Chain A
Amino acid sequence: MNRNLARVVATLLGALAVALPALAGAYPLQVARNVMLYMALAITWDMLLRSGQISFGIAGLFGLGAYASILGVIRAGMPAWASIPFAAAFSALAALLIGYLILRLRGMYFSIVTLALAEIFRIVIHNLHDFTGGPEGIVAPQGVIFGGSASALYWLALGGLAVALGASIWFERSKFHFALTAIRDNEIAASTSGVNIFSWLLATFVITSGIQGLLGGIFVQSYGFATPDSVFSADFTLLPLAMALLGGIHGTVGPIMGAVLLGVASEWLKLQMPYGHLVVYGIIIIIVILFMPRGLYGLARKMARPAEGRAE
């Protein structure tokens, strides 16, 4: 019954996502693109979190992909569409090298190192002035991809979301689910059951970072320019994190719920009081962490099957 309900909701949401360009004007499509972008980032953040590793590096790999994409077009003469998979590959490769060095760290130590990534990349881009355009940023001479068509940009963003969704569902239904959950629950038991912890963490970090790079490429091609401060903005780390926490972690559904709620709410709040949405984000993170650590989806699931005693 629960599963059928979920299927109906998913189908309706999917239908809505596909029908939206025919129904809505440019502004709602722009809002939808934003929500989908953050939703996809929230999903990828959660995918690594399923192993117990908390990354604060989303903005770093996202921004790296953004710059790989725009520089691929400007410096290497790539077609704009080809620069997007290139961005994914570039961030994935960077994650492979970085992950190899830092994935032996755990808990707070891992988190702090990832927090530094965005800052390091931002400073590097700042200083490679001749190649990257430096702090003022860089503009693609041919402008926005697809000539800036609102519906085409919407499809592109939806495509990025589909990649993140597909990967997340694949994680939930494959060996990744067993590997990451076992690592999160008990690394010692996992290792003596044959789980090569480092390899599974590295694979997960590379895949999620690659998708974050892909989303960075989509983002930058949708605007036709990049500045270090815009593509490495802390928003790209904090907003997805808040969305996943609000909706519920360790699964695909939670980040989707959180992104829809927070994405739409913040868009409305932006109109009411500029920057006020950031205050609301902060408050939501605090409330969620204090009162519902499993998020809205966790709360809903708990209420759906009450009064199950624990056998001790």
Chain B
Amino acid sequence: MTKLRTEHLTRAFLGLVAVNDVSFSMEEGEILGIIGPNGAGKTTFINLVSGIIMPSSGTVEYKGRDITYLPAHDRARLGIARTYQLIHPLENLSLIQNVMVGSIFAKGNGLRAARAKAEEVCASLGLTGLDRDTSKLTILEIKKMEIARALANEPEVLFLDEVMAGLNSDETRELIAQVQTIARERKLAVGVVEHVMGVIKELTHRVIVLEAGELIAEGPYEEVSKNPRVIEAYLGGAA
């Protein structure tokens, strides 16, 4: 079942077209890699889909419903959740309270139900010491907390924007396994932006490649990584 679809999605910042005519779709249970060189428009694309910014043209559809101009908080309620490349902890809330926010507002749960949900989600990510301040957390714990906050929305579509960045290889391996389990158990469609190709290779079923805002290739990682256009995008044009 198609969870999310964009048609000709375009966003220009004055003269710069950050996302240009991108059409794609995400299926239930699919882990999709979104790759491309720096400045290719990956984060802008996620911002468009999650409602942080609005497109210049094109459409976004969620489960068949047009959500192109729906505000971010309404999309969160429908079932689209995300994390951020630059961490966004809510510093004046504890770890568990950070996670509860997703459940309270996206699902409309009461505080007690939200706490139970948050505890369940934290447990699935191996988070402990739930009443700690966010200033006491390691970077891995903050990343997990942000994933947990997104999962507490009980989303059907989840975007992870460079969630592995800054983690060492053991931590990365641990998180990859957890994301795979969570995606399978919760039947999520997951969009993953990563720069480390090992992560993409291991984690994703399919990738889309953006370059200068345009979608230039699509398919399983093994296939796409041999695509000459993709290689050129990453290595630069041969002199």
Contact = CB atoms under 8 A, between A and B. Distances in A.
Interface string B67-82: 0000111111100011
Contacts of A194: 73, 76-77, 102, 104-107, 153
Chain A contact surface mostly? helix
A185 B105 contact: no
Contacts of A308: 136
Given A189-B90, A192-B81, A178 B104 contact: yes
B233 interface: no
Contacts of A42: none
Given A189-B84, A194-B106, A310-B135, A181 B76 contact: no
Contact of A186 (B72, B73, B75, B88): B88
A182 B93 contact: yes
B136 A193 contact: no
B105 A181 contact: no
Contacts of B104: 175, 178, 194
Given A178-B97, A191-B52, A311-B137, A196 B73 contact: yes
B102 A188 contact: no
B92 interface: yes
Nearest to A181: B92
A212 B1 CA distance: 53
B52 A188 contact: yes
Interface residues of A, number: 23
B84 A179 contact: no
Interface in A153-205: 174-175, 178-179, 181-182, 184-186, 188-197
Given A188-B88, A250-B92, A182 B101 contact: yes
B138 interface: yes
A194 B100 CA distance: 11
Q: Give the most central of B93, B100, B101, B135: most A CB within 10 Å.
A: B101
Nearest to B72: A191
Given A194-B106, A195-B73, A195-B105, A186 B137 contact: no
B123 to A, nearest CB: 20
A192 B136 contact: no
B102 A193 contact: yes
Residue with the greatest number of chain B CB neighbours at <10 A, chosen from A194, A308, A311: A194
Contacts of A310: 135-136
Contact of B91 (A178, A185, A188): A185
A182 B91 CA distance: 9
Interface in A105-153: none
A197 B76 CA distance: 13
Contacts of B76: 191-194
A175 B90 contact: no
A294 B81 CA distance: 33
B37 to A, nearest CB: 25
A179 to B, nearest CB: 7
A182 B90 contact: yes
Given A189-B84, A193-B149, A310-B136, A178 B72 contact: no
Most A CB contacts (10 A, CB to CB) among B50, B72, B153 go to B72
B192 to A, nearest CB: 17
Given A184-B92, A190-B105, 14 more contacts: A175-B104, A178-B101, A179-B105, A182-B90, A185-B89, A189-B84, A189-B89, A190-B90, A192-B82, A192-B150, A193-B102, A194-B105, A195-B101, A250-B92
Sort A-B residue pairs by CB-CB distance and give the 5 closest, nearest first.
A194-B106, A194-B105, A194-B76, A189-B88, A185-B90
